[in-house]
Amino acid sequence: MILLTANRSMKGEDSLEQVLREENTLDSLPVITIGDADRFLADRTYRNHCVDRILEILLNIEIWMGVGRLFIP
């Protein structure tokens, strides 16, 4: 399962970023983070660009194992 989120928080010991730093391994799937959630919902072109990038990542998932977080677009 791949986590798709707009959570960009990197503060606090229970933040997503801290969990990734502590728990990520070479076999871990990436967390995909959308750069601008409001724009994703409002802008079709931006949304399509994000979807294209997600598909690229999924089709080549073995390349992205263990990277932690991927920001799109």
Cα 43 to Cα 18, 19, 46: the distances in Å are 31, 31, 5
69-72 vs 31-34, strand pairing mode? parallel
pLDDT in tens, 11-70: 777 788 888 888 899 999 999 999 999 999 999 999 999 999 999 999 999 999 999 999
Segments making up each domain of the chain, as ranges? 1-8+29-73
Residue 73 has pLDDT above 90, yes or no: no
Confidence class for position 9, pLDDT limits 50, 70, 90: confident
The pTM score is 0.83
Residue 59: in which H helix or E strand, if any?
helix 44-59
